[in-house]
Amino acid sequence: MSIEAIAPASLGWRRFFGRRLMLAVGAGLLLFFVLLAIGAPIIAPYDPIMQNAEVRLQAPSLLHPFGTDNFGRDTLSRVIWGARLDLQMALIGVIFPFVIGTTVGTIAGFFGGIVDALFMRLVDIILAFPFLVLMLSIIAILGPGLGSFYIAMALVGWVSYARLIRAQMLVLKGSDYAVAAVSLGFSRPRIMFRHLLPNAIAGSIVFSMSDATLVLLSGAAVSYLGLGVQPPIAEWGVMVAEGQSFITTAWWITLFPGLSIVCLAFGFSMLGDALGELLGVHE
């Protein structure tokens, strides 16, 4: 067999195992944090908000593997319980923009004309503002809290999904099966949501994994700034903010929640890349 014939086959095997490795790493990390969040009441050795002045700022030890913070709270327990909130923020913060953007993009791309023009001008207006600035402005108006964060993400984050779906719908509505569906007298909602959308949504599903990373980091940043989750609730961004004053003397307070954010974001990113390869979105 010639070298020219071997090379494409070798590349194909490397890409196949690369996809499986990315999928395994991404799914494994997400599964780990999901199990951590579900089992927090059992796994966490201490109450995450219980204060104990006698053990404040203790370095990692057998009793406190991740050390304690300035209030004597166990950092490991707070990291474990924080997984619940950060996963919740990443998932809910993606679901609402995904649903809104998919619906808007489907309608705009299918109908075109004045409907498409109106929706796309709204998209242009939202994109004219920096994402983080607009999100923080909405939260500042609504007041600090998780509810305000979810509303801000829904109002700002849907535009990317709308643009992705719209682009796909503009292509697919002229396909043979779409024309056949029209000639058979199917209703517009049926054509949009049963025949076109399932074939247009793959790119948005892949993007949602990367978007979950952005939402996770945004949620942690908002909590760090004091506009998201409020103390003493255990959340990784809050923990990083609380530990910044002790970074030189009690580095563990910020290190472990910071690493948790990085690992969870890496899991979402790897899973998104793997799905993109498997679905051919990145081809």
In terms of C-beta distances under 8 Å and separation of at least 24 residues, what long-range contacts does 73-76 make, across chains too?
73/46, 73/48, 73/49, 73/232, 74/44, 74/45, 74/46, 74/48, 74/50, 75/239, 75/252, 75/253, 75/256, 75/257, 76/44, 76/45, 76/46, 76/256
- What does the pLDDT look like over 199-245, one tens digit per residue? 888 888 889 988 999 999 999 889 888 888 888 899 999 999 999 98
Amino acid present at 184: L
- What does the pLDDT look like over 58-102, one tens digit per residue? 999 999 999 999 999 999 999 999 999 999 999 999 999 999 999
3-state secondary structure of 74: strand
Structure tokens at 8: 């494409």
3-state secondary structure of 50: coil
The answer to whether 44 touches 80, Cβ cutoff 8 Å, is: yes
The answer to whether 234 touches 241, Cβ cutoff 8 Å, is: no
The pTM of this model reads: 0.84
The whole-angstrom separation of Cα 221 and Cα 238 is: 9
Beta-ladder partners of 74? 68
Closest CA to 74 of 114, 43, 31: 43
- What does the pLDDT look like over 144-203, one tens digit per residue? 888 999 999 999 999 999 999 999 998 888 888 888 888 888 888 888 888 888 888 888
Residue 7, pLDDT above cutoff 70: no
